[in-house]
Amino acid sequence: MYLIRSVLSISFVFVLLFFSSSCTTTIPTSTKPSSTEKKPNIVFILCDDLGYGEIQSLAPETSKIKTPNVDKLAHEGMVFTDAHSGSSVCTPTRYGIMTGRYSWRTKLQRGVVQGFAPNLILENRPTIGDFLKDQGYNTALIGKWHLNFQYFDSTLGKPIVKESKKQLPPVGATIPDGPLHRGFTYYHGFHHARDMKAVIENDKVILHEDEINMLPRLTNKSVEYINEQAKNKDGKPFFLYVPLGSPHTPIVPSKEWQGKSGLGDYADFVMQTDATVGAITKALKDNGLSENTLVIFSSDNGTSKAADIEGLAAKGHIVSAGYRGSKSDLWDGGHRVPFIVKWPNKIKSGSVSDELICLTDIFATFSEITNEPVPSDSGEDSVSFLSALKGGKINSSRAGVIHHSITGHFAYRTGKWKLLLAKGSGGWSSPREKESSGMPIAQLYNLEIDPAETQNLYLTHPEIAEKLLQELELDIKTGRSTQGEFSKNDVENIILWKSRTKNKNKKTNKKQAGRKN
């Protein structure tokens, strides 16, 4: 069930007027710190499975969940209306945030990782944690990792092998390749949803406890870290990355939040997640840190079907604000995400940007903010959006943004045009690929006039589809989507067309291998 363009337009105008009416500050001439100015603290809050339509101020006509703290953040900062996660599912997006590089350049061509395995981020690849640590930042990660690491049994002297989906790492297990080994000086959290009972601090599993306690735990630890940094005498700025596990399954709102929304457990959990944002921003204010802290709020992909999307729609709440699809899909509902940035005296309050950005762009943006170049062996798919924070256009060397679904299907977006190399959703929504017989092999949409992706123009505009396909092929072949030296993909054979026949896939394999990526 999708809303027509008129609803989207009304919602956008409402948001624009809402924010613009209260703008009192002016756009600064520069958001970069001067050589004598202290580098800003950075707090990045990443929700899990939170769709664009969950935030009331982003979709006032279709969101029925109260999100006062995120709304306040939007009122005081900038809203990006065309921001996208690096994938429509968890692990790939997190890899892109950490490295500024698309995850499909690695061995992970579809799905997510399950833990109990070597880290997906190679040891010699810089992360944003490494980068900011080198710039003198204290770095902390409080929350969900989901990029693989090993659990080591020190008594047996070997890694623990996962033998069942329900197996938890034992208390006392150590981690030789986790966040502490990828640029963070402090870590508290868990690996992924199925292992949420196993609480980790730094490089050790410290206890097992019920999942309902995880969101309060992450909230308290984040506030504690901010309080500690405020008392820190070393003069260093800090980077706090808070990848929450909510409102992803298990959907477990705490007792005080149960029933608060009147829409069910999922909406209750969204409200509790919003309260976590409020607790973190309050801690910054209480410690006098708000003025020199850059706060980013976003999500790793769209809403999961576990939220009971149809049930919420029956109550008037549309999780994707009219965009088609949800978590896992190539359609925008799978990867168009909330993205809000607050930076007092640097960003005009109540402002809106319609610039196209991707979460892989975090790395290059942090680079420009700190006046330090991105390491030459990283950030291949990262473009700074710092100019957009000033209300301007992004000067990008990237032709377009690449989208990727849970099943490994590709899409390419440039300007108003979006090409999907899939017959259907490329994910869990109907029609899936097996349900799409008789449909064109690909989809092409003009998002300017059809943001809900209802009119497939692939057969009527073949020249546009071919141009976007060539750009996508070039971005894969050169190992990067930005200007720079050739960068080798971790795997040589990246299959573009996942839904063609086996014979055609074999031909594609040979063609891709011949490029010697």
pLDDT tens profile 204-250:
999 999 999 999 999 999 999 999 999 998 889 999 999 999 999 99
The pLDDT value given to residue 29: 43
Q: How confident is the model at residue 59 (pLDDT cuts 50, 70, 90)?
A: very high
pLDDT at 350 over 50: yes
pLDDT at 11 over 60: no
Runs of H (alpha helix) within 2-48: 5-20
Average pLDDT over residues 459-475: 98
Comparing 27-31, 51-55, 439-443, the range with the smallest average pLDDT is: 27-31
Beta pairing partners, 403 = 411
Locate CATH 3.40.720.10 in the chain: 5-21+39-389
Q: How confident is the model at residue 510 (pLDDT cuts 50, 70, 90)?
A: very low
pLDDT at 342 over 60: yes
Mean pLDDT score across all residues of the chain: 91
Helix (H) or strand (E) holding 308: none
Dihedral in degrees, nearest 10, Cα atoms 90, 91, 95, 98: 60
**Alpha-carbon distance 433 to 88, whole Å?**
16
Locate CATH 3.30.1120.10 in the chain: 401-514
The predicted-structure confidence for 141-178, as pLDDT tens digits, reads as follows: 999 999 999 999 988 889 999 999 889 999 999 999 99
Residue 516: half-sphere exposure toward Cβ, Cα within 13 Å: 1
Q: Say what percent of the chain tops pLDDT 90.
A: 85
**Alpha-carbon distance 53 to 61, whole Å?**
10
Average pLDDT over residues 308-317: 97
Per DSSP, the residues of 193-222 read GGGTTEEEETTEEEEE--GGGHHHHHHHHH
Fold of 5-21+39-389: Alkaline Phosphatase, subunit A (3.40.720)
Comparing 8-17, 153-162, 350-359, 363-372, the range with the smallest average pLDDT is: 8-17
Q: How far is CA 90 from CA 14, 244, 435, in A?
A: 31, 12, 25
In CATH terms, is domain 401-514 a member of 3.30.1120.10? yes
The pLDDT value given to residue 32: 58
The pLDDT value given to residue 34: 52
The pLDDT value given to residue 156: 83
Beta pairing partners, 140 = 186, 240
**Alpha-carbon distance 191 to 170, whole Å?**
13
Comparing 290-304, 476-490, 498-512, the range with the smallest average pLDDT is: 498-512
Indicate the burial class of 38 (C-beta count within 10 angstroms; 0-12, 13-18, 19 or more).
exposed
Average pLDDT over residues 117-128: 97
Indicate the burial class of 490 (C-beta count within 10 angstroms; 0-12, 13-18, 19 or more).
middle
Average pLDDT over residues 461-483: 97
The pLDDT value given to residue 10: 38
The residue among 384 and 38 whose pLDDT is bigger is 384
The predicted-structure confidence for 361-383, as pLDDT tens digits, reads as follows: 999 999 999 999 999 889 999 99
Average pLDDT over residues 503-517: 39
pLDDT at 31 over 90: no
Strand runs (DSSP E) across 230-361, as ranges? 238-243, 293-299, 339-342, 351-353, 357-358
Runs of H (alpha helix) within 135-264: 214-231
Axis crossing angle, helix 5-20 with helix 68-76, rounded to the nearest 10:
60
The predicted-structure confidence for 392-405, as pLDDT tens digits, reads as follows: 999 999 999 999 99
The pLDDT value given to residue 409: 98
pLDDT at 24 over 60: no
pLDDT at 198 over 80: yes
